[in-house]
Structure 1
Amino acid sequence: MNKNKYNRFWRWHFYAALFITPLLITLTLSGIGYLFYPNVENKTYDHLFFGDGAQTEQLTIDEGIEKASLQYKDYSVSKVIILDDPYNARLTMTNEQGDQKYVFLDKHYQIVGSQNAAHTFSNVMRNLHSSLFVGGTVVNYLVELAACWAIFLLVSGIYMTFKGNALKKQNKSTNRQKNLKWHALVGTIITIPMVIIIFTGLPWSAFMGNFIYSAAQKYPAIGTPTLAKQAPTSDMNEIPWATRKNEAPTSTESHAGHAGHGNMANMNMEDMSMNSNRITLQQLMSEVDKNHISKPYSIIYPTSQDGVYTVSKGSNTGVTGLDVSPYEEITSYFDQYNGQFISKVGFEDYGILAKWFTWGIPLHEGHLFGWPNKLLNLAVCLAFLFVIFWGYKTWLARKKKNYISAPPSVKISAGFIAFMVILGLIMPLFGISFIIVAMIEVIITLSNKTKESISS
């Protein structure tokens, strides 16, 4: 075994773990919480999801929406979610400041109640997991960096496990050696599933996520197909990952011109919700049925005079009761003035990259194949926490008082450089951070050598 290579991996493995462990623990715990958000919300919001309103008079869905608009005057409807029984329908209402409210309509389309979107369990877990409640580019990059360096920790740990003595039988094991053994053994077992979980979460990341999505859009053969009429740009979670950033098709021009008297400027959300020339939602739902689009699905309102209704079924919506199988994923478009079906894109139209992430994201979220998926993800996450725990105990067992006790610094080998370059190419943000960290270590090494030469 080349001791220099081992020590180099050990040193970087140690420092990476030391600095990103708090963030990894936060991401893992919030990830576990998000695994079970549908179960938590079904219990916590039982009345809103399944209950009835105070009135029993049967209304149309449009009358129910009108009542909601009158009751919550500062908000206007931007999205309607139609779920399978026994779930109630859910309206997403937004005010001018961008705050959202969820309003629930029962089987009579009477108002059951409402909730602040930002305070729901799923959104709290999602915001903690993806942006630590802070948000912004820097924080999003920090979360992505933690995920990338976690992959380095796992892969470098595999190398040291098979090159070192962690799993070799000892005549008399110390507590440090026992902790190291469990740290190495469990880390080795979970490396592949953990790497899969991390990589399937990267499509939502700030840097690599945009890179992946751009590649899917630029190369239709492996990503998302180029259609004559493409999917709308939207930040709505219910639009499938593969189509959520594309350019919107338009409704029939003659209808749009009549509605706006030739003015094609964008309308605000309240103006759109009051557009009397648009078909009713009940009529739209009839057209959706005629096109054999079954529940559950979400309806995104048009946001301009020539916009369209977007009706979608997604495998990664983040909404309790709305997720479907990847094979059922579809994004379809209907004319807002006559309800005519315009076009659609479904799973069968995706390229291999889009199909991979359409499968990968629900696998990451724990609902691709039901309870076994949740339990598998939970087991991997708990094992990862134990790996961190045993690694921490191993360090404390050899740590000298008042010293960090980092592994020794050695010359960087060609093999180590090649390994880091490969990881950097696969994960560009990791590559950039590696260059920065390497430069810092070079500066520290040169500084220490200068001090040693002066003292001698």
Structure 2
Amino acid sequence: MSVTTRPLPAAGTAAPRERRSLGPLVLRLHFYAGVLVAPFLVVAALTGLAFVFSPQLDRLVYAHELSADPGAGPPRPLAEQVAAARTAHPGGDLASVFPPVEATDTTRVVFSLPELGEKQHTVYVDPYTNEVRGTLTTWFGETPLMTWLDDLHRNLHLGVVGRHYSEVAASWLWVVVLGGLWLWLRRQWTGRRRLRRTVLPDLAAGVGVRRTRSWHAATGVWLAVGLLALSATGLTWSRYAGGNFDVLQEGLNAHSPALETALPGGAAEGGGHHADPVAGGGGADPSHVDRVTIAARRAGLTGVVEVTFPAEPGAAWVVAQDDPSWPTGWDRAAIDPATGAVVARSDFADWPLLAQLAKLGVAFHMGFLFGLLNQLLLAALAIGLLCVIVWGYRMWWQRRPTRADRAALLGTPPARGAWRRTHPAAAVAALLVAVAVGWALPMLGVTLAAFLLVDLILGAARRRRAGRAVPTSPPL
């Protein structure tokens, strides 16, 4: 077996200095993160794609519960509709009412029951006939179908344990995107037509790894901003990183402001309605629902609103906009049911900036912001991400050795020793950043540490095998 040796430098000349760069380290991180985390991203993309069109699926599956016939006559008072819902659902406490917005919508009357935990029963009432169209178990307003798809995307129906998968995906997505973007711009951002080469695939390249890489990278450039937004918004309500985000909001006093609901003088409404069998959980008189809703509309709370019964005597009713299809649709007002006066108000425009961004981010991530446009954008991001992942694995396969003496199923990973080829100052900075990010995003930190540990073990085993394979010279 021939051995290739590197020529020694001439006498009196210095050995050439090895160029130091972050490139090999970023390449190795991008490769291993892509290979190992991609399955989590595939699951997140597929389940997210299934959830994003759940509003349209709801209209098909629950057409009987959600739809009413406006030709049946003028709408009946909300109080009558609430009474009809209570007759059909005698158990539980009245929690809230969603008046219809479109002429074909039913009225949603929500009941809380202790045995349901966070979930509730929603009774759907025809606003023109007071006919109860059905009852569904809902979760924060989501139908059973939407809840099932939401849980599938969030935790694969595995409960708390399943939430780890989605947090791993969200924690690593931004790392993979930024790493790939840096590598591609570093490779392409030179010479003429650099912008074209960066954002468009190289159609002139022959079939092979070069063409696949151009599709993989150029598509990633187009998706980068959207994928980074999905990563950030997904982390805000994840288990561990989301907890740290809550601590940050608390420290900056950047939560959405609380709404003061105490009535002037602390007087209970309606005096004597506490024993009413149709009263709300705090003894509120449901007959006031029309007055409260009209007062809220006059105060500018338009679109979809949730009218919430007070939880205790002496408190105001709360009317909150619940329309994520328009960014300003989250204003709230506390209303005195006896007079219809607005006693307190909290407008979305007055929220702290971080709270606004968090609310908008969640609405975007779920596909509710701006309605169908948001849904189509998320669908494009999910499909594009799946294509990028497939092209990434295809590159790995195309780079496999094919010579008979060294054929392999897959390509070789980037060479080890990337840290040694990085400038010491850059390596220290990268280490400090990794520690800080790992603390803020615990699932990223734990999985990164696990990757490094496995890599060290495999490297030690490989060196041991190589040492045993080297023949030793016989003693003199």
Q: TM-score, normalised by structure 2?
A: 0.74
State the Cα distance separating 1:444 from its structure 2 match: 4.2
Gaps in structure 1 of 5+ consecutive residues: 232-247, 261-268, 315-321
What is the aligned counterpart of 1:418 among 417, 429, 441? 429
What is the aligned counterpart of 1:187 among 201, 216, 220? 220
1:64 partner SS? helix
- CA deviation vs aligned residue, 1:334-368 (integer Å, no higher than 9, x gap): 35777653312112212222232333333333343
1:145 aligns with 2:168: yes
State the Cα distance separating 1:423 from its structure 2 match: 6.3
| Distance across 2 between alignment mates of 1:341 and 1:366 | 32
State the Cα distance separating 1:284 from its structure 2 match: 2.3
Distance verdict in 2 for CA 1:71–1:396, change over 3 Å: same
| Distance across 2 between alignment mates of 1:254 and 1:347 | 27
1:312 aligns with 2:333: no
Q: What are the residue-to-residue correspondences of 1:320-359 with 2, within 5 Å? A: 322-335=323-336, 340-359=341-360
Asked if structure 1 preserves the Cα contact closer than 8 Å seen for 2:81 and 2:127, the reply is: no
Distance verdict in 2 for CA 1:434–1:308, change over 3 Å: farther
| Distance across 2 between alignment mates of 1:250 and 1:208 | 35
1:112 aligns with 2:133: yes
| Distance across 2 between alignment mates of 1:52 and 1:225 | 38
Q: What are the residue-to-residue correspondences of 1:71-90 with 2, within 5 Å? A: 71-86=88-103, 87-90=105-108
- CA deviation vs aligned residue, 1:29-83 (integer Å, no higher than 9, x gap): 2222333222332333333222259x98975323322332332344443222123
1:37 aligns with 2:54: yes
Distance verdict in 2 for CA 1:250–1:217, change over 3 Å: farther
| Distance across 1 between alignment mates of 2:205 and 2:356 | 52
Structure 2 equivalent of residue 409 of structure 1: 416
What is the aligned counterpart of 2:289 among 278, 281, 293? 281
| Distance across 2 between alignment mates of 1:106 and 1:420 | 62
Structure 2 equivalent of residue 9 of structure 1: 26
| Distance across 2 between alignment mates of 1:102 and 1:174 | 57
Distance verdict in 2 for CA 1:254–1:156, change over 3 Å: closer
What is the aligned counterpart of 1:292 among 297, 300, 314? 300
- Give the partner amino acid of 1:96: P
Structure 2 equivalent of residue 245 of structure 1: none
Q: What are the residue-to-residue correspondences of 1:38-437 with 2, within 5 Å? A: 38-52=55-69, 59-86=76-103, 87-98=105-116, 99-108=119-128, 109-117=130-138, 120-136=144-160, 138-164=161-187, 173-220=206-253, 223-224=254-255, 230-231=258-259, 249-251=261-263, 254-256=266-268, 272-273=280-281, 275=283, 280-305=288-313, 307-314=315-322, 322-335=323-336, 340-399=341-400, 401=408, 405-412=412-419, 413=422, 414=424, 415=426, 418-419=429-430, 421-422=432-433, 425=436, 427-429=440-442, 430-437=444-451
Q: What is the CA RMSD across the aligned residues, in angstroms?
A: 4.0
- Give the partner amino acid of 2:133: V
Distance verdict in 2 for CA 1:135–1:256, change over 3 Å: farther
2:386 partner SS? helix
| Distance across 2 between alignment mates of 1:150 and 1:313 | 33
Which of structures 1 and 2 has the bigger CA Rg? 2
1:101 partner SS? strand
Structure 2 equivalent of residue 234 of structure 1: none
| Distance across 1 between alignment mates of 2:269 and 2:379 | 54
Asked if structure 1 preserves the Cα contact closer than 8 Å seen for 2:78 and 2:99, the reply is: no
- Give the partner amino acid of 2:123: V
| Distance across 2 between alignment mates of 1:115 and 1:52 | 20
| Distance across 1 between alignment mates of 2:301 and 2:175 | 44
- CA deviation vs aligned residue, 1:259-299 (integer Å, no higher than 9, x gap): 79xxxxxxxx9984482667632332233234332232012
Asked if structure 2 preserves the Cα contact closer than 8 Å seen for 1:326 and 1:359, the reply is: yes
Structure 1 residues 363-372 or 106-115, which shifts more? 363-372
| Distance across 2 between alignment mates of 1:274 and 1:225 | 24
Distance verdict in 2 for CA 1:278–1:101, change over 3 Å: closer
Distance verdict in 2 for CA 1:349–1:4, change over 3 Å: closer
Asked if structure 2 preserves the Cα contact closer than 8 Å seen for 1:31 and 1:129, the reply is: yes
- CA deviation vs aligned residue, 1:400-419 (integer Å, no higher than 9, x gap): 64678443322423536634
Q: Report the count of equivalent residues.
A: 422
Gaps in structure 2 of 5+ consecutive residues: 1-17, 190-196, 401-406, 471-476
Distance verdict in 2 for CA 1:102–1:278, change over 3 Å: closer
Asked if structure 1 preserves the Cα contact closer than 8 Å seen for 2:397 and 2:410, the reply is: no
Distance verdict in 2 for CA 1:435–1:121, change over 3 Å: same
Distance verdict in 2 for CA 1:423–1:287, change over 3 Å: farther
Which structure exhibits the higher relative contact order, with contacts defined as CA atoms closer than 8 Å and separated by 6 or more residues?
1
